[in-house]
Chains A and B, each alone.
Chain A
Amino acid sequence: MKKTDSNYSRRSFLKVSSLSGGGFMLGISWFASAKPVETLAELGAEPIWQELTSYIKITPDNVIKIFSPNPEFGQNVMTSLPMLVAEELDVDFKAIVVEQASYNPALFNRQFTGGSQSIRSAWKLLRTAGASARQMLLTAASQAWNVPVAELTTSKGQVKHAASGKSATYGSFASAASKLPVPKDIVLKANKGFRLLGTPQKNVEGSKIVHGKPLFGMDYKEEGMLIAMTERPPAFGMRLKSFDATAAKKMPGIVDVFTIQVYEPTQKLAMFDTRSFNEVIAVVGKSTWDVLNARKRLNVVWENAPDIKEIMNNRETVVPRGLESTSKHYADMLAMDKKPGRVERKDGEPEKAFEAAKHIIERTYTAPFLAHNIMEPTNTFAHFQGNKVRFVAPIQGPDFIANTIATRLGIPKENIEIQLARMGGGFGRRAYGHYMVEAALISKQANAPVKLVYSREDDVSGGIYRPTYQLTYRAAFDENKRLTVMHIKGGGIPESPLHANRFPAGAIDNYMAESWSIPSNITVGAFRAPRSNFNAAAEQSFLDEIAEYMGKDPIAFRLELLKRAKESPVGKNNDYDASRYMGVLELVRDKSGWGKPENANKKRGVSAYFCHNSYAAQVIDLHVKDGQVIVDHVISAVDCGVVVNPEGAKNMAEGAAIDGIGNALFGNLTFTEGSTNQKNFDTYRMIRHNEAPKKIDVHFVANEIDPTGLGEPPFPPIFGAMANAIYQATGKRLYKQPFGNQIA
């Protein structure tokens, strides 16, 4: 998406106003990540902030505050987004104050954390904000000193005039600057002029984190706040029939017990309105412990739900009845493979090519449902009063759910205030804000501020999961073992993972992609690199296996295909850039010493994938000991364009490797009669310290491409690299995730 300057001018960050005294922006906000902390504390209760664009506030004594617009869930945007502003504003990053902005679509653009888009969508906008404010300060200085702007320079929050030797802080011009018109046609720095971007900057909330300061939604508390939890059906496919709360209400600390309908039965739902159960029992009390105990005293009768019609994304869908089980899921998926699917892409004459084949390799890959297992369980604070509601919410997409809240509560969208709490993980789970609707309804009914909290069991057993998937790859070869055709057929419950126009589409003359899906009442949604997180595993395992059949080196084979896609691509809709794809493969080849004699004894696998606009490749070295996989080394190569904060970026790519290895080896959510067999971390196996790689090296492709996203892209290829390295170590090709129990 390309933003033009006219778009910026419509944004009200250019609507400059000066604020003084009062207002929620002032004082020491719960969310002000003060850096340094002392600076903010010294300001006292009523500092005077001059607003220069909605992203910057400056006091007369030169305290500079930069707002981070997007929700923070560990991807470190609260550090990297303000860096974009600070670069062009020309301030000392270590001396500024960073504050998490509240949800405010009038002031901030795209306050959504997801799709690896935060930096990408802010890249020009936030730099423009910084550059505009700097220009306004320069103009104010030129008027005050009666010298041309062209003779002024800036450095670390100071304006200087070399000829006269004059120098003053931004703060001294902030008031005058804030009254100036916002400049148009701002010219941003060329990349080579960056002084801050590309340098490692520490997490602005690091100190609060290591000292256990309240930061997360779960930590929020205010006067009169009650705790609420909800009791939900024990299985997908069930619903509430009746309940008796007499005993629960008599429990200590319990204030009320009642049911809520999350959405009206006829409410039109949008993409992020998914919720696992619509009617739930709310238990409201004084402490979490009181509520947890009272939940055990509820007498509830659940019943099997019928087929339920729903309008989602303007389409009528049916949530089918039934209590589903994993064994049947896999059998059903296998059966779909035998039926014709929806043809989503066809190049050349795939059928003929298969008929003419001398040899065919066909492999079917599967992966289970996965739970997000965000370490901070789902929660939110809500206070409904009159026709207004105020939230302190860990939420990835406040704007999506604000529409839904307005509809469900029957209030204007402007009456919804959302303070964005730091999230203890998200990974897609907190894109679905139904819990905010629930909390608002509970607050309204209880007539009190409430914090709605899910238990870990609630989160694991009633989630919005990564779907279970299956992909069948079929390739044919001629008498010289040359690849002549590839056919990919895939689907899932309840959605297909297929990306029909992704590599190796475009690299093969005869190609066909087919898709199918099986409806389900199990709720699914975005999970770090949706669909890609499975496609990469299947595709990259299959390419490895056919390269072996053809007697080709796995990296050389991929590069050969990509060269074809680059030089004479097949088809028109290929959604990847073959050059950048090749770039990460070449980088990981060189950095890992691939094919070098000194590495001949290593059991290593390679994998590469493109998703969310960026490219990543990995080589994994591992060995097997006592039936357990031990990952010795991960070498990761990433092309995400310009790297804003190298240390933060490295951390995220390392995390993607560990998260990927964990899910590849252990991630597994299974169902019996609609109910998850795993309820908590004692049964849902997460990767732990002793299973993490011994070493991870991350390398970024150096280029001047505008940032293209990083949270998701390094995650999917890990699954393929694991499968391929396990094959090298054990001689076994694994097709069914998770791999961990198939090693011995």
Chain B
Amino acid sequence: MIKKFTLRINKKSHTVEVDENMPLLWVLRDILDMKGTKYGCGVGSCGACTVHLNGIAVRSCQLPISSLANQQITTIEGLAEKGDHPVQKAWLDLDVAQCGYCQSGQIMSAAALLKNTPRPTEEDIDNFMSGNICRCGTYTRIKKAIQLAASNTK
């Protein structure tokens, strides 16, 4: 059923009128024109659509809009006001991306990991990041970038 919803995304309010079952992913991409959150699988298996829900990394393709009232949503566009999140900077320092399609999801997962585990071990990184697929094979660079971001975060 089509209903009106107000979402809190990147500290701003957005009101949309859409099907109550529409996943956040498609609300972001098709309705709000925020293209940073990517469609990869639609079944929560690849992590390309990762956003933060109240600071926790979640797969936006699995979140119906009706479940999101009064929640704080952060997308790659709002990860840092000036786009200078330590994870984004580390990604640029180490030139992580190849095709780049999965990287917003990787960055959102990495940022959530570092929020709760500021000094992650290699195993912490492997475990936390294993929901994010990259076909180009940038995993070792991602790991280094997470370690760099951790060491640059005081």
Question: Which positions in A face B, CB cutoff 8 Å?
Answer: 73-76, 200, 202-203, 205-207, 209-216, 218-219, 221, 227, 252, 287-290, 292-293, 373-377, 422-427, 455-456, 647-648, 651-652, 654-659, 662, 680-682, 686-690, 692-696
Most buried by A among B26, B77, B100, B131: B100
User: Which residue on A lies nearest to B87, using beta carbons?
Assistant: A210
Apart from A252-B2, A373-B135, A681-B45, 10 more pairs, CB < 8 Å: A210-B88, A210-B92, A211-B36, A287-B22, A377-B39, A652-B98, A656-B137, A658-B138, A659-B136, A680-B41
Q: Is the CB of B103 within 8 A of A686?
A: no
Question: Which positions in B face A, CB cutoff 8 Å?
Answer: 2, 18-19, 22-23, 26, 29-31, 33-43, 45-46, 48, 75-77, 83, 88, 91-92, 95-104, 107, 122, 125-127, 129-143
A376: chain B residues at CB < 8 Å are: 38, 40, 99, 101
Q: Is the CB of B95 within 8 A of A456?
A: no
Q: Is the CB of A425 within 8 A of B45?
A: no
Least CB distance, B147 to chain A, in whole angstroms: 13
Decide: A75 near B83, CB < 8 A? Known: A680-B41, A692-B140: no
A293: chain B residues at CB < 8 Å are: 19
Instruction: Write 14 A-B pairs (CB below 8 A) sorted by A numbering.
Output: A203-B97, A209-B100, A210-B92, A210-B97, A211-B76, A212-B77, A375-B46, A375-B135, A651-B138, A656-B137, A662-B137, A680-B42, A689-B125, A692-B137
Q: Is the CB of A692 within 8 A of B139?
A: yes
Least CB distance, A526 to chain B, in whole angstroms: 15
Chain B binding site: helix, strand, loop or mixed by DSSP? loop
Least CB distance, B52 to chain A, in whole angstroms: 13
A456: chain B residues at CB < 8 Å are: 40-43, 46
With A and B bound together, what is the CA distance between A205 and B97 in angstroms? Answer: 9
Least CB distance, A379 to chain B, in whole angstroms: 9
Q: Is the CB of B140 within 8 A of A693?
A: yes
Kindly identify which residue among A73, A207, A681, A687 contacts B41, using a CB–CB cutoff of 8 Å: A681
Q: Which 4 A-B pairs have the closest CB atoms?
A: A212-B36, A424-B101, A658-B137, A74-B99
Q: Is the CB of B137 within 8 A of A695?
A: no
Q: Is the CB of B133 within 8 A of A289?
A: no
Least CB distance, A48 to chain B, in whole angstroms: 31
Q: Is the CB of A648 within 8 A of B95?
A: yes
Most buried by B among A200, A654, A692: A692
Kindly identify which residue among A227, A373, A455 contacts B30, using a CB–CB cutoff of 8 Å: A227
Q: Is the CB of B140 within 8 A of A209?
A: no
A687: chain B residues at CB < 8 Å are: 137, 139
Kindly identify which residue among A75, A227, A690 contacts B126, using a CB–CB cutoff of 8 Å: A690
Decide: A288 near B33, CB < 8 A? Known: A423-B99, A655-B136: no
With A and B bound together, what is the CA distance between A425 and B46 in angstroms? Answer: 15
Q: Is the CB of A288 within 8 A of B95?
A: no
With A and B bound together, what is the CA distance between A374 and B134 in angstroms? Answer: 9
With A and B bound together, what is the CA distance between A658 and B139 in angstroms? Answer: 8
B139: chain A residues at CB < 8 Å are: 658, 687-689, 692
Q: Is the CB of B39 within 8 A of A211?
A: no
User: Which residue on B lies nearest to A528, using beta carbons?
Assistant: B135
Q: Is the CB of A212 within 8 A of B95?
A: no
User: Which residue on B lies nearest to A658, using beta carbons?
Assistant: B137
Least CB distance, B6 to chain A, in whole angstroms: 19
How many A-B contacts at CB < 8 Å in the complex? Answer: 192
Q: Is the CB of A205 within 8 A of B100?
A: yes
With A and B bound together, what is the CA distance between A692 and B140 in angstroms? Answer: 7
B131: chain A residues at CB < 8 Å are: 688
Decide: A651 near B99, CB < 8 A? Known: A212-B37, A681-B43: no
Q: Is the CB of B33 within 8 A of A221?
A: yes
Q: Is the CB of A219 within 8 A of B98?
A: no
Decide: A289 near B98, CB < 8 A? Known: A252-B2, A681-B133: no
With A and B bound together, what is the CA distance between A710 and B18 in angstroms? Answer: 47
A215: chain B residues at CB < 8 Å are: 100
Least CB distance, B53 to chain A, in whole angstroms: 17
User: Which residue on B lies nearest to A208, using beta carbons?
Assistant: B100
With A and B bound together, what is the CA distance between A214 and B77 in angstroms? Answer: 11
With A and B bound together, what is the CA distance between A584 and B87 in angstroms? Answer: 36
Least CB distance, B143 to chain A, in whole angstroms: 7
Kindly identify which residue among A287, A374, A694 contacts B31, using a CB–CB cutoff of 8 Å: A287
Kindly identify which residue among A289, A375, A651 contacts B26, using a CB–CB cutoff of 8 Å: A289
Kindly identify which residue among B30, B99, B129, B132 contacts A425, using a CB–CB cutoff of 8 Å: B99
Q: Is the CB of A375 within 8 A of B133?
A: yes
Decide: A425 near B97, CB < 8 A? Known: A375-B46, A689-B125: no
Least CB distance, A266 to chain B, in whole angstroms: 37
Least CB distance, B21 to chain A, in whole angstroms: 8
With A and B bound together, what is the CA distance between A425 and B102 in angstroms? Answer: 10
Q: Is the CB of B95 within 8 A of A202?
A: yes
Q: Is the CB of B95 within 8 A of A206?
A: yes
B48: chain A residues at CB < 8 Å are: 375
With A and B bound together, what is the CA distance between A515 and B94 in angstroms? Answer: 45
Q: Is the CB of B41 within 8 A of A211?
A: no
Q: Is the CB of A647 within 8 A of B95?
A: yes
Q: Is the CB of A287 within 8 A of B30?
A: yes
With A and B bound together, what is the CA distance between A555 and B57 in angstroms? Answer: 47
Least CB distance, A374 to chain B, in whole angstroms: 7
With A and B bound together, what is the CA distance between A210 and B111 in angstroms? Answer: 12
With A and B bound together, what is the CA distance between A668 and B140 in angstroms? Answer: 23
With A and B bound together, what is the CA distance between A75 and B99 in angstroms? Answer: 7
Q: Is the CB of B140 within 8 A of A696?
A: yes
A692: chain B residues at CB < 8 Å are: 137, 139-140, 143
Q: Is the CB of A689 within 8 A of B130?
A: yes
B140: chain A residues at CB < 8 Å are: 654, 658, 692-696
User: Which residue on A lies nearest to B98, using beta carbons?
Assistant: A74
With A and B bound together, what is the CA distance between A119 and B138 in angstroms? Answer: 22
Q: Is the CB of B41 within 8 A of A424?
A: no
Least CB distance, B89 to chain A, in whole angstroms: 8
Q: Is the CB of A425 within 8 A of B101?
A: yes
Q: Is the CB of B143 within 8 A of A76?
A: no
With A and B bound together, what is the CA distance between A541 and B42 in angstroms? Answer: 38
Q: Is the CB of A203 within 8 A of B37?
A: no
With A and B bound together, what is the CA distance between A200 and B138 in angstroms? Answer: 17
Kindly identify which residue among A375, A377, A656, A690 contacts B99, using a CB–CB cutoff of 8 Å: A375
Decide: A375 near B134, CB < 8 A? Known: A218-B39, A289-B19: yes
Decide: A218 near B30, CB < 8 A? Known: A658-B140, A662-B137, A681-B133: no
A422: chain B residues at CB < 8 Å are: 99-100
Least CB distance, B133 to chain A, in whole angstroms: 5
Decide: A213 near B130, CB < 8 A? Known: A375-B135, A647-B95, A686-B135: no
Q: Is the CB of A424 within 8 A of B83?
A: no
User: Which residue on B lies nearest to A459, using beta carbons?
Assistant: B41
A206: chain B residues at CB < 8 Å are: 91-92, 95, 97
Q: Is the CB of B98 within 8 A of A76?
A: yes
Q: Is the CB of A211 within 8 A of B137?
A: no
A73: chain B residues at CB < 8 Å are: 99
B99: chain A residues at CB < 8 Å are: 73-74, 375-376, 422-426
